Amino acid sequence: MTRSVYVTGIDRGDGRQVVELGVMELLTRQVDRVGVFRPLVHDGPDRLFELLRARYRLTQDPASVYGMDYHEASTLQAERGTDELVSNLVERFHQVAREYEVVLVLGTDFADTQFPDELAINARLANEFGASVIPVVGGRGQTAESVRAEARNAYRAYEVLGANVLAMVVNRVAPEDREVIRERLVARLPVPCYVLPDEPALAAPTVSQITHALGGTVLLGDDAGLARDALGFVFGGAMLPNFLSALTPGCMVVTPGDRADLVVGALAAHSAGTPPIAGVLLTLNERPSEEILTLASRLAPGTPVISVPGTSWPTATELFGLEGKLNATTPRKAETALGLFERHVNTGELLERLAVARSGHVTPMMFEHELLEQARSDRRRVVLPEGSEERVLRAADVLMRRAVCDLTLLGDTEVIRKKAADLGIDLSEVQLIDPNTSELRQPFAERYAQLRAHKGVSVELAYDVVADVNYFGTLMVQEGFADGMVSGSVHSTAATIRPAFEIIKTKPDASIVSSVFFMCLADKVLVYGDCAVNPDPNAEQLADIAVQSAATAARFGVDPRIAMLSYSTGTSGSGADVDKVREATERVRGSHPELRIEGPIQYDAAVEPTVAATKLPESEVAGRATVLIFPDLNTGNNTYKAVQRSAGAVAVGPVLQGLRKPVNDLSRGALVSDIVNTVAITAIQAQPDPTAAGPVHPSQSTTA
């Protein structure tokens, strides 16, 4: 039977989109096919569904998402009664439920509707759908006692109406009241109650939303600037010195268009990072001269300057009535919302109560979700040497919003702050270090000279070497100032991993450093090794790569079944290349008898059951291999790229293995999502290894 969860409320303004997005994230970690159903909808675009469709790559026909619009529903209820209305909606719900493993139901929004008892309608629909209910109560502007009373009343109301209340969520409470409200509700309610504090960044409109609402014209600014949140408004009328002292981080400056001094002053302050602003809004439909606009564009490239027709007073009235919305064009708000949900909701407990069985296969999205969750469970600090690179800054933004790990960025701190300000990224929770001026430079130089004394490295020479961001970052890991390092978006692989070879070195049980890629196919995750480091490993090294790769697979939830690849399967071929693979296989069997391994074996026999049934019918690995070890770098690198491009697989990696502490390399073409995934993997590698106590049994890991 399809499971479904019904997220609803008791009134307007509860911000339940945060909960709906969080529950969707939770469900997509467990199952591949999640449907969405909104019983009643207003005319116009459904911003939340468009966000869900874009973020989770939903293929559901939008027409199937909606039951009927409010006008149609109220007319039907008035003419034929509530029973007929509910019957129609139930029929449309089941058309969706038949197609999906789980359905997320988005309750009515209590906004401009004709229903006399909307709460009762939601409760009845949930009952008829067989859905568990998560009621959301809004707490903005209320005292702690009134919020607690409202939450208790909401629970009783849904319970009396027969709803299966899964959990209660209280949202938008004053941060200082959150813990008191949570403790008292937990003591008085028989179901879990999660309390989320008010998050100003979610309510803040973006510059783009402000521009659209006011009918403004964009004079300057790029997409990144228009996506910034306006965390407040500063109205310019004072002289420049007093005006500058009034600026606050993330504010939108509102000033008459003829005040060129305030425009230039605000943008100069932004350029200096004191403080970074969201943008400038010019009233009176006045446009600065081209000379001023040219100067403005050079002072703060990308920062929006918007012209609106109204005067300051009516503009202010409209601005204070605007509220930010989650939609497909505000991905950073979605990351903030998910971070808020994941910090304050016990997602494991919620999933257990929902009793959603995990799918028997693993999709790329499920694997990526699991990485972030696993990293978040025991936060570590990861150092990113390429601190001024735009992709790295955008990845840092995502990682901090989702509370995945703690971060240190290396580089010229003023350059980093300015670049972050231009991108609208808040680095207040990120540690920034300039290796050239850091107090750690001298002790790091002494430590590096000690480690490389056998190569004749003096402290004076080391002092220059450790100013390099990759050497400095590696020493931070070695000396315990960070738990792992990720670099390579603008540096070569050699520049990234050479310091690790010199400083961190290999584990006692590893003869070499090697790498794997996690290849996320449509319904499973395979581990490919080594596709990035060792050009032509000998039999002993190949065996070491296999053992390391199996351990890495198990660490990340992939049940290791190792295929030692060759152009020949079993005993059908001979030659130096095949013999190397055969010897490596026997070495693994001798040193690690607990590992399931087959080799030499061809790729098709390793992954395709029908081929395996013909070539190696008795093998427990053939046809079901999850860890594929290539005989050389040429074969491995070309294969992973061919599968990535031709099969549409998501390649996560390379993930280095064999080092005492985690350092990972990025492709210079890495996307922001690649950097996020690699940092999460690095953070996980830095956590205590639960598989280190002994061999992994298949029941202890996730079937890939």
How many secondary structure helices (H) and strands (E) does the chain include? 30, 24
CA distance 344 to 192: 12
> Angle, to 10 degrees, between the axis of helix 331-344 and the axis of helix 47-55?
80
Q: Which residues pair with 69 in a beta bridge?
A: 41
Q: 193 pLDDT band (50/70/90 cuts)?
A: very high
CA distance 420 to 72: 48
Render pLDDT for 262-289 as a digit per residue (tens, 0 to 9).
889 889 888 877 788 889 999 888 888 8
Residue 176's SS3 state is helix
The set of residues, in sequence order, having a beta carbon less than 8 Å from that of 314 and lying 6+ positions away, is none
Query: Is residue 184 pLDDT above 90, yes or no?
Result: no
Residue 23's SS3 state is helix
Query: Is residue 33 pLDDT above 90, yes or no?
Result: no
CA distance 531 to 528: 7
Render pLDDT for 217-267 as a digit per residue (tens, 0 to 9).
999 988 888 888 888 888 887 788 888 888 888 888 998 888 888 889 889
Mean predicted lDDT score pLDDT of the chain: 86
Q: Which residues pair with 408 in a beta bridge?
A: 383, 431
Mean pLDDT in residue range 34-50: 86
Render pLDDT for 202-225 as a digit per residue (tens, 0 to 9).
888 889 889 988 888 999 988 888
Which amino acid is residue 434, in one-letter code? D
The reported pLDDT for the residue numbered 693 is 46
Mean pLDDT in residue range 610-621: 88
Query: Is residue 700 pLDDT above 80, yes or no?
Result: no
Whether the Cβ atoms of residue 257 and residue 285 lie closer than 8 Å to each other: yes
Dihedral, CA of residue 373, residue 379, residue 381 and residue 384, to nearest 10: 10
Residues for the chain: how many in total?
704
CB atoms within 10 A of CB 523: 14
Range with the lowest mean pLDDT among 163-167, 410-414, 417-421? Answer: 417-421
The reported pLDDT for the residue numbered 112 is 61
Query: Is residue 628 pLDDT above 90, yes or no?
Result: yes
Query: Is residue 498 pLDDT above 80, yes or no?
Result: yes
Mean pLDDT in residue range 157-166: 89
Above pLDDT 70, what percent of the chain? 95
> Angle, to 10 degrees, between the axis of helix 390-401 and the axis of helix 672-686?
60
CB atoms within 10 A of CB 350: 20
Q: What is the CA radius of gyration of the chain?
A: 29
Bigger pLDDT: 176 or 286?
176
Render pLDDT for 96-125 as a digit per residue (tens, 0 to 9).
988 888 899 998 876 665 666 778 888 888
Query: Is residue 440 pLDDT above 90, yes or no?
Result: yes
Residue 528 token pair: 């490919």
Range with the lowest mean pLDDT among 9-18, 177-186, 534-543, 624-633? Answer: 9-18
The reported pLDDT for the residue numbered 15 is 85
Render pLDDT for 3-19 as a digit per residue (tens, 0 to 9).
889 999 887 778 889 99
pTM above 0.85, yes or no: no
Query: Is residue 696 pLDDT above 70, yes or no?
Result: no
The reported pLDDT for the residue numbered 186 is 87
Q: 691 pLDDT band (50/70/90 cuts)?
A: low
Bigger pLDDT: 172 or 274?
172
Cα 695 vs. chain centroid, distance in angstroms? 31
Residue 227's SS3 state is coil
- Which among 558, 606, 517, 560 has a CA at the least distance from the CA of 704? 558
The reported pLDDT for the residue numbered 357 is 56
- Relative to beta strand 232-235, strand 193-197 is unpaired
Query: Is residue 697 pLDDT above 60, yes or no?
Result: no
Helices (H), 402-454: 413-423, 441-451
The reported pLDDT for the residue numbered 573 is 67
Range with the lowest mean pLDDT among 312-326, 340-354, 643-657? Answer: 312-326
Whether the Cβ atoms of residue 702 and residue 557 lie closer than 8 Å to each other: yes
Query: Is residue 418 pLDDT above 70, yes or no?
Result: yes
Domains parsed from the chain with CATH numbers: 3-200 (3.40.50.300), 205-320 (3.40.1390.20), 379-503 (3.40.50.10950), 514-658+690-700 (3.40.50.10750)
CA distance 598 to 627: 10
Mean pLDDT in residue range 481-501: 91
The reported pLDDT for the residue numbered 438 is 93
Mean pLDDT in residue range 415-420: 88
Alpha carbons within 13 angstroms on the beta-carbon side of residue 659 total 28
